């Protein structure tokens, strides 16, 4: 072609205004210009798109860019046209959003040779009329963007991507450049095999984003923590990722109610709204976008200062790509994820019904996420190891585990036991099975292999399953053991591990973090039975005084203490220091009804305590709830007041009995009085009602449903106990 490095630098300056290339960009472009296949592995913000945009402008013919997201094609095309003095025909996209006239315009520009870049979704590439059109033009090369979509082991697998090689062969051979920001060695191999480019030159940039800070937080009260974090980082742009559209909508509304400019972004919104919300974020008219994972791919906003994961993602690849949208300008980027094992169980549940092989892959990817979240090792080290890169330092100085290191111990004997166990078995087994053997767990899988009579069964019983899983994970990072990905994660010992086993040397390891279970906050936080126990995060002196006041109020009114306020409510008061009824009703599990009925002595006590101890109250941290978060609540209250049969309420709102009970518990738990006697008398005998009512009045130590079911026994159904508990709370507490 005769295009030299000097030509490339001139074009770079002329078209894009840059004086120099970043990282491997120049080498990648030269390789492509020479007619060779290229595989580009470059983290978000590394400048992947320039690797195909610049050569497309210089080479004769049209470059076909295959990209998964229709919504972003227009952005890319507009950007290119802007660089090239608004020459409209120079770049086009061809997808289902175009009308006939627009398609004809694209067709004319393509056939005239005017178009240098054509963006297409894989679905558009498969259409017969498009294949026929592309056969008529000279193609300079094919660029496969977001190439991880090809692999079933990738985090955004798209079946249409598997057909690209066949279609390319049909249209006409040309060099291929495959680009992705995230690919484990397994995914990389999958991509190259599928595209028939095993001989491609691989350009792999380091995955280490030094400016990003990684932290995992316990998901105990994520909404409050998010408000606090954003208010401490006022004026900074951020993205919050949630797994469900419903949670995206709720959280965006919740942030707005608390004075934070936020907008939602998910596939359920129409394209006009999505584009408008995206543009408002780019133009800094809003601070925060709350989104599902689709947001941010290809968006060139260099100053996103934080990325928060409200829900832990399905894979480490997805997590790494999403966190990579922070700090693309090389400056500060905070990446915080809220973790609870309950979310993992929820994700596993979503996989049910999928093909077994897909479930196995999904579970393996989830296990990697669990290992990362629960580990006390350097987060950077674990992430880089996952992508096949070693991080030489022990302490990165920019993650929660390195800034607040946990106690370490010499684990050489523990590691040697793990290696001995793996070597002792003819079959290969997964990490959980090996940990269960050492911890002496007796389950059907252990028994089916007769591993309950294995000489090493129960040898580490005193340390428990979690401990042995932590040792296995660290063995993986240290390359002493490895996973056979083709066999869904079966473990084997590496040559390095065998050397260590023959001559064990001191090995400093850490135990995993313990995460408390949290109450699923998809339910209203004022729900009866919500989160019992104290997180002990408040003022212990005030907490003791509040408990004493609660005992006094309960005694005066002849009520169990938990009917007045539960421990989580007192705990929140000891953190927020509410001194008005308005502030008190924003505390967890209080609500307007309870605040008015029981609140007066509590706010007097807190007010006096604050004054005497000169406490600086976090007034800006009084979190406002979203009013009428559930549209069903008003409807339910009105219909129960009118004594409408519950069957009618269920059918009109298409609810299950469990869903209706949960809504009613939430209403009553926040202090609203409901008379449900008309329904209870239809479905229960008086003596049953009296027995359960008496239990809650005289025996119950809390409003726990589990405790009630254990105490009352199998004579009473869960539904009966819940109904009487609602009646009891409404009559005595509200």
Cα separation, 190 vs 596, in Å, equals 63
Instruction: List CB contacts of 318: < 8 A, sequence separation 6 or more.
Output: 155, 156, 182, 293
- The answer to whether residue 402 sits within a structural domain is no
First to last CA, the chain: 82
Residue 343's closest CA among 220, 261, 435, 206? 220
Instruction: State the pLDDT at residue 82.
Output: 63
The average pLDDT across 101-111 equals: 86
Instruction: List CB contacts of 610: < 8 A, sequence separation 6 or more.
Output: 577, 579, 617
Assign 560 a pLDDT band (cuts: 50, 70, 90): confident
Which has the higher per-residue pLDDT, 337 or 256? 337
Same structural domain, 233 and 346:
yes
Q: Which of 330, 359, 394 represents a domain boundary (last residue)?
A: 394
Instruction: State the pLDDT at residue 613.
Output: 82
Instruction: State the pLDDT at residue 516.
Output: 60
Flag whether pLDDT at 518 surpasses 60. no
The average pLDDT across 413-440 equals: 88
Q: Find the domain containing 240 and state its range.
A: 212-394
* Tokens 């997805």 -> residue: 318
Tokens of 62: 């049209």
Flag whether pLDDT at 2 surpasses 90. no
The average pLDDT across 452-461 equals: 89
Q: Is 203 helix (H, G, I), strand (E, B) or coil?
A: strand
Cα separation, 140 vs 173, in Å, equals 10
Same structural domain, 583 and 476:
no
Same structural domain, 598 and 483:
no
Flag whether pLDDT at 235 surpasses 50. yes
Same structural domain, 552 and 598:
yes
Flag whether pLDDT at 238 surpasses 90. yes
Backbone angles phi, psi at 667, to 5 degrees: -65, -50
Task: Report whether 733 contacts 725 (CB < 8 A).
Answer: no
Q: Which of 621, 652, 674 represents a domain boundary (last residue)?
A: 621
Same structural domain, 40 and 122:
yes
Which has the higher per-residue pLDDT, 45 or 423? 423
Flag whether pLDDT at 523 surpasses 70. no
Q: What is residue 181's DSSP assignment?
A: S
Q: Determine the length of the chain.
A: 734
- The answer to whether residue 609 sits within a structural domain is yes
Which has the higher per-residue pLDDT, 696 or 154? 696
Instruction: State the pLDDT at residue 733.
Output: 67
Percent of the chain with pLDDT over 70: 89
Tokens of 305: 């200062």
- The answer to whether residue 529 sits within a structural domain is no
User: Please, what sign has the CA dihedral across residues 310, 312, 318, 321?
Assistant: positive
The average pLDDT across 393-421 equals: 89
Which has the higher per-residue pLDDT, 398 or 267? 398
- The answer to whether residue 677 sits within a structural domain is yes
Same structural domain, 481 and 546:
no
Same structural domain, 493 and 561:
no
- What b/e readout covers 12-28, taking b as 16+ CB neighbours within 10 angstroms? beebbeeeebeebbbeb
Instruction: State the pLDDT at residue 26.
Output: 92
Whole-model pTM? Answer: 0.60
Residue 297's closest CA among 45, 635, 600, 519? 45
- The answer to whether residue 108 sits within a structural domain is yes
Half-sphere exposure of 22 (CA within 13 A, CB side): 17
Domain containing residue 312: CATH number: 3.40.50.300
Instruction: State the pLDDT at residue 525.
Output: 33
Cα separation, 728 vs 734, in Å, equals 10
* Burial of 132 per CB tally in 10 Å (0-12, 13-18, 19+): exposed
pLDDT in tens, 463-500: 888 889 888 888 887 889 887 756 666 888 999 999 99
Q: Which of 188, 204, 220 represents a domain boundary (last residue)?
A: 204
Flag whether pLDDT at 300 surpasses 60. yes
Rounded to the nearest integer, the mean pLDDT of the chain is 83
- The answer to whether residue 318 sits within a structural domain is yes
Q: Report how many domains make up the chain.
A: 5
Same structural domain, 95 and 240:
no
Same structural domain, 302 and 365:
yes
Backbone angles phi, psi at 141, to 5 degrees: -170, 170
Instruction: State the pLDDT at residue 531.
Output: 35
Q: How many CB atoms lie within 10 A of CB 89?
A: 16
Instruction: State the pLDDT at residue 691.
Output: 86
User: Please, what sign has the CA dihedral across residues 169, 170, 174, 176?
Assistant: negative
- The answer to whether residue 245 sits within a structural domain is yes
Domain containing residue 544: CATH number: 1.10.150.80
Same structural domain, 560 and 698:
no
The average pLDDT across 603-629 equals: 71
Same structural domain, 196 and 229:
no
- The answer to whether residue 284 sits within a structural domain is yes
Flag whether pLDDT at 399 surpasses 90. yes
The average pLDDT across 607-624 equals: 72
User: Please, what sign has the CA dihedral across residues 32, 33, 35, 36?
Assistant: negative
Instruction: State the pLDDT at residue 427.
Output: 62
Task: Report whether 589 contacts 529 (CB < 8 A).
Answer: no
Flag whether pLDDT at 162 surpasses 70. yes
Same structural domain, 34 and 115:
yes
* HEC assignment per residue over 99-135: CHHHHHHHHHHHHCCCCCEEEECHHHHCCHHHHHHHC
Assign 85 a pLDDT band (cuts: 50, 70, 90): low
DSSP sequence for 659-726: HHHHHHHHHHHTT-----HHHHHHHS-HHHHHHHHHIIIII-SS--HHHHHHHH-TTS-HHHHHHHHH
Distances (CA, A) of 286 to 282, 326, 525, 576: 8, 16, 27, 28
Distances (CA, A) of 609 to 16, 615, 622: 63, 8, 18
Distances (CA, A) of 234 to 286, 287, 300, 305: 12, 9, 22, 11
């Amino acid at each position: 072609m005769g295009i030299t490095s000097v030509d490339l630098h001139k074009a770079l300056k002329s078209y894009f205004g840059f004086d120099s290339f970043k990282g491997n960009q120049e080498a990648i472009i030269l390789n492509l210009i020479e007619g060779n296949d290229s595989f580009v592995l470059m983290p978000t913000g590394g400048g992947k798109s320039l690797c195909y945009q610049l050569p497309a402008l210089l080479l004769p013919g049209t470059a076909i860019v295959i990209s998964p997201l229709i919504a972003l094609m227009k952005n890319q095309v507009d950007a290119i046209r802007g660089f090239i003095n608004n020459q409209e025909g120079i770049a086009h996209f061809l997808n289902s959003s175009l009308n006939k006239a627009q398609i004809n315009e694209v067709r004319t520009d393509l056939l005239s040779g005017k178009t240098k870049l054509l963006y297409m979704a894989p679905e558009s590439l498969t259409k017969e009329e498009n294949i026929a059109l592309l056969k008529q033009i000279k193609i300079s090369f094919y660029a496969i963007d977001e190439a991880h979509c090809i692999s079933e082991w990738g985090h955004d697998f798209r079946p249409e991507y598997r057909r690209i090689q066949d279609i390319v062969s049909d249209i006409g051979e040309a060099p291929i450049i495959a680009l992705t920001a995230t690919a484990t060695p397994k995914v990389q191999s999958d991509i190259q095999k599928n595209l028939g480019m095993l001989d491609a030159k691989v350009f792999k940039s380091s995955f280490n984003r030094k400016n990003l800070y990684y932290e995992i937080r316990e998901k105990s009260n994520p909404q409050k923590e998010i408000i606090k974090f954003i208010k401490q980082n006022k004026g900074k742009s951020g993205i919050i990722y949630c797994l469900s559209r419903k949670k995206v909508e709720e959280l965006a509304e919740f942030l707005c109610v608390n004075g934070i400019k936020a907008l939602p972004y998910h596939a359920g919104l129409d394209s006009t709204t999505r584009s408008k919300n995206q543009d408002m974020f780019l133009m800094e008219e809003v601070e925060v976008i709350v989104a599902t994972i689709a947001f941010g791919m290809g968006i060139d906003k260099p100053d996103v200062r934080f990325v928060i994961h409200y829900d832990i993602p399905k894979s480490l690849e997805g997590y790494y790509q999403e966190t990579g949208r922070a700090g693309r300008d090389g400056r500060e980027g905070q990446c915080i994820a809220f973790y609870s094992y309950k979310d993992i169980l929820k994700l596993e549940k979503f996989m049910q019904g999928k093909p077994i092989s897909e479930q196995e892959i999904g579970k393996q990817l989830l296990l990697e996420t669990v290992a990362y979240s629960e580990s006390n090792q350097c987060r950077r080290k674990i992430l880089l190891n996952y992508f096949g890169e070693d991080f030489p330092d022990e302490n990165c100085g920019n993650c929660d585990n390195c800034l607040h290191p946990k106690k370490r111990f010499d684990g050489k004997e523990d590691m040697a036991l793990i290696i001995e166990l793996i070597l002792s078995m003819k079959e290969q087994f997964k990490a959980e099975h090996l940990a269960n053997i050492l911890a002496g767990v007796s389950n059907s899988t252990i028994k089916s292999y007769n591993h309950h009579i294995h000489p090493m069964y129960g040898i580490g019983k005193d340390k428990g399953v979690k401990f042995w899983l932590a040792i296995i994970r660290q063995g993986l990072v240290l390359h002493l053991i490895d996973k056979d990905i083709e066999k869904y994660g079966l473990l084997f010992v590496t040559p390095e591990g065998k050397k260590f086993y023959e001559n064990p040397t001191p090995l400093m390891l850490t135990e995993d973090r313990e995460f408390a279970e949290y109450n699923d906050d998809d339910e209203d936080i004022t729900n009866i039975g919500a989160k019992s126990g104290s997180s002990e995060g408040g003022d212990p002196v005030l907490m003791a005084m509040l408990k004493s006041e609660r005992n006094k109020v309960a005694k005066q009114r002849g009520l169990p203490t938990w009917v007045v306020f539960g421990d989580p409510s007192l705990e929140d008061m000891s953190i927020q220091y509410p001194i008005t009824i308005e502030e008190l009703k924003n505390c967890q599990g209080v609500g307007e009804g309870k605040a008015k009925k029981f609140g007066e002595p509590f706010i007097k006590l807190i007010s006096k305590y604050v004054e005497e101890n000169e406490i600086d109250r976090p007034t800006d941290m009084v979190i406002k709830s979203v009013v009428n978060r559930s549209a069903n609540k008003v409807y339910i209250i009105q219909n129960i007041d009118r004594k409408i049969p519950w069957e009618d309420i269920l059918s009109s709102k298409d609810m299950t009995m469990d869903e209706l009970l949960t809504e009613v518990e939430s209403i009553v738990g926040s202090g609203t009085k409901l008379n449900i006697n008309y329904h209870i008398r239809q479905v229960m005998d008086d003596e049953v009602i009296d027995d359960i009512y008496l239990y809650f009045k005289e025996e119950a130590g809390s409003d726990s449903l589990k405790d009630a079911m254990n105490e009352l026994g199998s004579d009473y159904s869960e539904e009966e106990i819940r109904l009487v508990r609602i009646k009891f709370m409404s009559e005595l507490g509200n």
